């Protein structure tokens, strides 16, 4: 056989990630607030997109989005939605989450096949039941920050070089009120004697709030004790030996401080009244955004109503009249191609947003169905659940369910929960029954420890026996792991801490 170049024809199948498919997949993983920011960017890039401002804009300028039934194959996966694109049928569209059609279609599609006595209702959006949700962020006050508070005090008592040094020192104080920067390095950088920097730092440590500018917890407590005129030799020795207090070694503390039980109790009570993070009472320089739920779950008769948070889903439409005006004018080939690309991009975005909304409702509905006992009776009745279980129940891929449940929160009567919270591992039942959720076991552990007597602190072995009596087959190391995950100390630590609390009381 001779060697040389030649041409061969081969047929093969491969999955191609088109830009539209990548966009649709990315939209699934975004929360409602992130979607709002994404749409704002698209409005700037695409002149054919408009945010719906009223009914007048909707009349004559856009047409309603064609309902995509979940019975059809095209509604099941995003990639099939991409393949179903038809340029001739892609008329200007809009997605109005407040529309009656979307509300009714989503309810019928999401709950099809789930009416077996459960009584669930899936609603595709439309805002909260009370109407437009209030903007709670508008009530947030612009509190003065810790740095501004300290700089104002420095300006009132310092001047010249000392004021400049104070400004640099205050910049190094973190949000909790601690100064953790090396003083020597700062003095060398400023070209100021170390003694002058330490003198200015001592002045700052006398500012309000008491304890600010401390370099350790002991120094923070000492500054607050001095401010309260309680820093006597016994209190100084107590603060210098906080490790003995943490371990509950009161005999050593009495010997070191030279006091009796009554005086030691008074000192511990005084110490507990101090603030270990004095800077936290001031407003932070960075705004902390509140978590906004993406899905609402409310009791409706004997079932549940699942509803998207329409307050964070802006109404989006294609400006039909503007497209007609641009396409009717004299254009070159490049302009026509750009206009066609803008129209196709806008139509696809609206389809992807509609599909995303329906998918979130569908996944949330199945979660509520699987965790019905949790919504009715609490975390102790949370069932073990996996992404695969939900994916198989609704006929979607596991990765799609994972993206839908990422960065999204569900609000119900019991509080605000991340959708990922409802997916937990299982613990085998001691009587051979159904497995229980790890979160349910943690809830029982927390309840048992909260009810324990100070004279009979429960060990991990005793917790194992009590949990088995409640039907949980669990090992001692698992109890210890769950206890530590809850931030609960060992039986020895709890006994010492409760002893400290009794003495302080």
pLDDT of residue 32: 76
Give the Cα separation of 390 and 362 in Å (integer).
10
Give the Cα separation of 33 and 83 in Å (integer).
28
Give the Cα separation of 411 and 13 in Å (integer).
44
* Strand arrangement of the beta sheet that strand 316-318 belongs to: 49-51, 316-318, 93-95, 63-64
Which of 86-100, 143-157, 446-460 is predicted with the least confidence, judged by mean pLDDT?
86-100
pLDDT of residue 132: 45
And the tokens for 191?
């070209």
Considering the entire predicted model, what is its pTM? 0.55
Give residue 139's pLDDT band: very low, low, confident or very high (50, 70, 90). Answer: very low
DSSP string, 297-358: EEEETTEEEEEE-GGGS--EEE-HHHHHHHHHS---HHHHHHHHHHHHHHHHHHHHHHHHHH
pLDDT of residue 138: 43
SS3 501: helix
DSSP string, 444-480: HHHHHHHT-BTTBPPPHHHHHHHHHHTTB---HHHHH
**Residue 194, phi then psi, degrees to nearest 5:** -60, -35
Give, in order, the Cα–Cα distances in Å from 425 to each of 136, 172, 380, 435, 441. Answer: 36, 44, 14, 9, 11
Q: Which residue has the higher pLDDT, 283 or 324?
A: 324
**Is 103 a residue whose pLDDT tops 90?**
no
Domains of the chain: 19-131+292-399 (no CATH), 146-281 (no CATH), 425-504 (1.10.10)
**Is 45 a residue whose pLDDT tops 60?**
yes
**Is 485 a residue whose pLDDT tops 70?**
yes
**Average pLDDT, whole number, for the chain?**
76
pLDDT of residue 250: 84
Give the Cα separation of 41 and 25 in Å (integer).
17
Which of 11-25, 79-93, 344-358 is predicted with the least confidence, judged by mean pLDDT?
79-93
Residue with tokens 């139509």: 347
* Strand arrangement of the beta sheet that strand 295-300 belongs to: 121-123, 303-308, 295-300, 409-412, 415-418
pLDDT of residue 245: 84
Give residue 214's pLDDT band: very low, low, confident or very high (50, 70, 90). Answer: very high
**Residue 487, phi then psi, degrees to nearest 5:** 75, 25
Q: What percent of the chain has pLDDT over 70?
A: 75
pLDDT of residue 100: 46
pLDDT of residue 341: 87
Given a contact cutoff of 8 angstroms between Cβ atoms, the answer to whether 68 and 75 are in contact is yes
**Is 129 a residue whose pLDDT tops 90?**
no
pLDDT tens by residue, 106-116: 444 444 334 43
**Is 425 a residue whose pLDDT tops 80?**
no
**Is 216 a residue whose pLDDT tops 50?**
yes
Give, in order, the Cα–Cα distances in Å from 188 to each of 63, 159, 191, 195. Answer: 69, 20, 5, 12
Give the Cα separation of 349 and 229 in Å (integer).
66
DSSP string, 377-423: H-GGGPPP--HHHHHHHHT--HHHHHHHTTT-EEEETTEEEEGGGG-
And the tokens for 100?
């009656």
DSSP state of 290: P
SS3 95: strand
What's the first-to-final CA gap in the chain, in angstroms? 97
**Is 1 a residue whose pLDDT tops 80?**
no
CA-nearest of 170, 205, 138, 200 to 285 is 170
Q: Which residue has the higher pLDDT, 2 or 36?
A: 36
Stretch 302-306: mean pLDDT, rounded?
88
**Is 104 a residue whose pLDDT tops 60?**
no
Stretch 257-263: mean pLDDT, rounded?
87
And the tokens for 194?
């170390």
pLDDT tens by residue, 59-102: 333 333 333 333 333 334 444 443 444 433 333 334 444 444 44
Stretch 343-349: mean pLDDT, rounded?
86
Give residue 320's pLDDT band: very low, low, confident or very high (50, 70, 90). Answer: confident
Cis peptide before 209 (omega within 30 of 0): yes
pLDDT of residue 283: 62
pLDDT of residue 364: 93
Q: Which residue has the higher pLDDT, 417 or 130?
A: 417
pLDDT of residue 500: 62
Give, in order, the Cα–Cα distances in Å from 113 to each of 220, 369, 501. Answer: 62, 12, 56
pLDDT of residue 290: 73
pLDDT of residue 137: 45
Stretch 16-38: mean pLDDT, rounded?
79
And the tokens for 120?
């669930």
User: What's the farthest any 2 CA atoms get from each other in the chain?
Assistant: 103
Stretch 211-226: mean pLDDT, rounded?
92
Stretch 148-167: mean pLDDT, rounded?
90
Torsion of CA 20, 26, 28, 33, to 10 degrees: -120
Stretch 36-47: mean pLDDT, rounded?
86
Which of 23-32, 224-233, 279-288, 362-371 is predicted with the least confidence, judged by mean pLDDT?
279-288
CA-nearest of 354, 384, 275, 374 to 64 is 354
Q: Please, how many CA atoms are within 13 Å of residue 361, restricted to the half-sphere of its CB?
A: 33
Q: Which residue has the higher pLDDT, 91 or 492?
A: 492
**Is 488 a residue whose pLDDT tops 80?**
yes
Given a contact cutoff of 8 angstroms between Cβ atoms, the answer to whether 231 and 181 are in contact is no
Stretch 368-391: mean pLDDT, rounded?
87
Stretch 22-51: mean pLDDT, rounded?
83
Q: Which residue has the higher pLDDT, 12 or 273?
A: 273
pLDDT of residue 143: 64
Q: Which residue has the higher pLDDT, 117 or 488?
A: 488
Given a contact cutoff of 8 angstroms between Cβ atoms, the answer to whether 271 and 75 are in contact is no
């Amino acid at each position: 056989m001779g060697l040389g170049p030649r041409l061969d024809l081969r047929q093969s199948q491969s999955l191609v990630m088109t830009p539209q498919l990548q966009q649709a997949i990315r939209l699934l993983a975004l929360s409602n607030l992130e979607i709002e920011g994404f749409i704002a960017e698209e409005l700037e890039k695409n002149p054919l997109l408009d945010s719906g401002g009223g009914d007048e804009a909707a009349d004559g300028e856009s047409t309603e989005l064609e309902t995509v039934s979940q019975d059809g194959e095209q509604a099941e996966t995003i990639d099939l939605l991409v393949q179903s694109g038809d340029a001739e049928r892609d008329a200007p569209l809009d997605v109005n989450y407040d529309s009656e059609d979307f509300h009714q279609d989503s309810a019928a599609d999401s709950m099809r096949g789930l009416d077996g006595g459960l009584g669930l209702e899936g609603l595709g959006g439309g805002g909260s039941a009370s109407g437009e949700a209030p903007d709670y962020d508008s009530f947030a006050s612009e509190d003065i920050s810790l740095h501004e508070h300290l700089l104002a005090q420095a300006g009132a008592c310092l001047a010249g070089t000392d004021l400049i040094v104070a400004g640099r020192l205050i910049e190094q104080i973190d949000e909790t009120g601690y100064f953790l920067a090396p003083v020597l390095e700062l003095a060398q950088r400023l070209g100021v004697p170390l003694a002058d920097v330490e003198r200015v730092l001592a002045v700052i440590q006398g500012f309000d709030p008491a304890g600010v500018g401390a370099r350790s917890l002991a120094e923070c407590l000492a500054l607050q004790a001095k401010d309260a005129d309680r820093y006597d030799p016994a209190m100084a020795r107590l603060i210098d030996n906080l490790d003995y207090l943490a371990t509950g070694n009161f005999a050593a503390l009495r010997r070191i401080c030279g006091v009796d039980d009554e005086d030691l109790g008074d000192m511990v009570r005084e110490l507990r009244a101090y603030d270990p993070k004095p800077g936290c009472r001031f407003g932070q320089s960075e705004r902390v955004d509140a978590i906004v739920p993406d899905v609402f779950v409310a009791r409706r008769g004997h079932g549940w109503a699942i509803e998207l948070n329409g307050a964070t889903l802006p109404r989006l439409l294609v400006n039909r009249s503007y497209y007609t005006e641009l396409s009717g004018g004299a254009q070159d080939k490049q302009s026509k191609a750009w206009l066609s690309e803008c129209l196709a991009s806008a139509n696809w975005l609206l389809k992807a947003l509609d599909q995303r909304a329906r998918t979130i409702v569908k996944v949330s509905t199945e979660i509520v169905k699987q965790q019905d006992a949790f919504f009715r009776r609490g975390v102790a009745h949370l069932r073990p659940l996996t992404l695969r279980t939900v994916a198989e129940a609704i006929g979607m891929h596991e990765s799609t369910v994972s993206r839908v449940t990422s960065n999204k929160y569900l609000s119900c009567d019991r509080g605000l929960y991340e959708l990922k919270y409802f997916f937990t591992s299982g613990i085998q039942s001691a009587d051979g029954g159904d497995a229980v959720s790890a979160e349910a076991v943690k809830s029982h552990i927390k309840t048992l420890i909260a009810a324990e007597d100070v004279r009979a602190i429960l060990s991990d072995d005793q917790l194992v026996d009590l949990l088995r009596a409640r039907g949980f087959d669990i090992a001692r190391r698992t109890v210890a792991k769950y206890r530590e995950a809850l931030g609960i100390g060992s039986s020895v630590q709890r006994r010492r801490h409760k002893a400290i609390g009794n003495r302080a009381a």
